[in-house]
Amino acid sequence: MKRQNFIQVPLTVASSIFLSLPSLAIIVDGAGGEGSANRSESSLLYDHPDFLYWDNMVSVGGASGIYLGRGEGSDIGYVLTANHTASLTPGTSSISVAGKSLNVVSSTRIGGADLKLYGVGGDLFPDLPSVSYASTIPAFGEEIVMFGRSTRTGGLVSFGGDEGYQTSSIAGTMSWGVNRAESIFGGSGSPVLSYTSNGALQENFYTSFDSPESGSQVAGWEASAGGFDSGGAAFIYRDGKYELAGIISAVIRNRGQSNSSVAYGNKTSFVNVEHYSDLLPGLASSEFSAVPEPSSLLLLGIGVFQVICFRKRR
């Protein structure tokens, strides 16, 4: 098993380091990460047909973020990202959301964590659903769907005793991948780690980038964060809907591993949104449903046709 950077220092020191390691990219193992395989809404909906928030994903200061929706009873919308990403200046900066440029009107760090909340405003808001915050912490083994702007530069390679992928220094289009929540220390313990940093209680959860031989991969879409994924959203599917569970904060790499790579054994750290949900804005309610796949519409049409024929025969 690979030894990782956090093992070299006491946990009290490691906890302060976690927030200072910028994440690199959403890298998906194998064929799922080749070309545009994981870079379209259609590829996502094939496996996750109830997901509504593809157009809510945004670029923030060269990294990633998510448009949460408009505030309840407010003319302000909100974008959530990682605090350590490049800061945007209220009054002069803007964020593009679903093709519409919204002006940054406020900037707030949330609870001393690696979370930054931007208020945005404009003449015309995009017609997008409001996200739902996670109601409980991630459980061991729960599936995490994560988003970012990473780029793989090729296939699987060996480097310095590791196996993995080299990553590009240029941000790509939005991409997605899947993993499962697990303890940073391995085993079947809680994926959530609480610690104190700068006098504030922090909560993060973790995933591990597993090799095919481990038997622990999520078939087809095993993912790790990489270079332009800081601030990217992570969702969990519960009770028929996707909840915002985390914001990508850091990658814990193997000892001696290059910053321009993702390797088996790397762990992605997410800020646990559930812990900070009381500090996040209330959002206007919205009713959206996933667009049915063409095959579903075809089956529906066939069913209607059969009912009509049956009625005519009677």
pLDDT digits (tens, 9 = 90+) for 197-239: 878 889 999 999 999 888 888 867 889 998 778 999 999 999 9
Cβ-based neighbour number of residue 61 at 10 Å: 18
- Residue 63 pairs in a beta bridge with 60
Q: What is the CA radius of gyration of the chain?
A: 20
| Matching residue, tokens 């915002």 | 244
Structural domains in the chain plus CATH codes: 5-52+132-276 (2.40.10.10)
Going by the DSSP 8-state scheme, the letter that residue 142 receives in this structure is -
Q: What's the CA gap between 172 and 145, in Å, rounded?
A: 18
Instruction: Using alpha carbons, select from 27, 39, 270, 43 the residue that is nearest to residue 134.
Output: 270
Amino acid at the residue 289: S
Q: How confident is the model at residue 13 (pLDDT cuts 50, 70, 90)?
A: very low
**Rounded Cα gap, residues 29 and 110, in angstroms:** 33
Conformation bin of residue 231: beta by default, left when phi > 0, alpha when psi is -120 to 50: left
Q: Which among 210, 205, 212, 202 is positioned nearest to 183, based on CA atoms?
A: 205
Task: State residue 303's pLDDT score.
Answer: 38
Kindly report the three-state secondary structure assignment for every residue of 175-230.
EEEEEEEECCCCCCCCCEEEEEECCEEEEEEEEECCCHHHCCCCCCCEEECCCCCC
CA–CA distance, 257 with 71 (Å, rounded to integer):
42
* pTM assigned to the model: 0.83
pLDDT tens readout for residues 280-310: 999 998 665 555 444 443 333 433 333 333 3
Q: Are strands 192-197 and 200-208 parallel, antiparallel or unpaired?
A: antiparallel
Mean pLDDT of 39-62: 92
pLDDT tens readout for residues 94-131: 999 999 999 999 999 999 999 999 999 988 899 999 99
Across 3-27, average pLDDT: 38
How many degrees, rounded to 5, is the angle at CA 267 between CA 187 and CA 86? 150
